[in-house]
């Protein structure tokens, strides 16, 4: 399922007047999750899961084409841990 499919699925619930309203709702939810990660570093949706910011340390890597050692900078990524209800539904 991609973003367009998600918007269509939300629209098909019948709770929105049109696809534009469903799209706005999906965009708002994704925006709030992003903002929550920026502000708190964690967004917990009970029964669904937890999004959190994970930090990766700087490390030495290797260029696969030349074999040369390179420095890979530290970075931040988003992690997701599924909640109990989500796990059980699968």
C-alpha 1/C-alpha 19 separation (Å) is 17
- 87 — pLDDT class (breaks 50, 70, 90): very high
Query: Is 14 a residue whose pLDDT tops 90?
Result: no
* H helical segments located in 1-90: 3-11, 19-40, 84-89
Domain that holds residue 72: 42-90
Q: Is the pLDDT confidence value at 81 over 90?
A: yes
Say whether both 54 and 19 belong to one domain: no
Same-domain check for residues 67 and 50: yes
The pTM score is 0.77
d(CA 35, CA 1): 23
pLDDT at 74 over 90: yes
User: Rounded to whole angstroms, how far apart are CA atoms 81 and 63?
Assistant: 31
What is the rounded end-to-end Cα distance, in angstroms, of the chain? Answer: 16
Render pLDDT for 16-70 as a digit per residue (tens, 0 to 9): 889 999 999 999 999 999 999 999 999 999 989 999 999 999 999 999 999 999 9
Judgement on whether residues 51 and 73 belong to the same structural domain of the protein: yes
């Amino acid at each position: 399922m991609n973003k367009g499919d998600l918007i269509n699925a939300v629209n098909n619930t019948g709770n929105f007047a049109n696809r534009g309203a469903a799209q706005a709702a999906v965009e708002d939810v994704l925006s709030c999750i992003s903002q929550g990660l920026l502000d708190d570093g964690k967004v917990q949706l009970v029964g669904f899961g937890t999004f959190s910011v994970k930090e990766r340390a700087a490390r030495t890597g290797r260029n696969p084409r030349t074999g040369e050692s390179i420095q890979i900078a530290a970075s931040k990524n988003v992690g997701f841990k599924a909640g109990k209800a989500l796990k059980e539904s699968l």
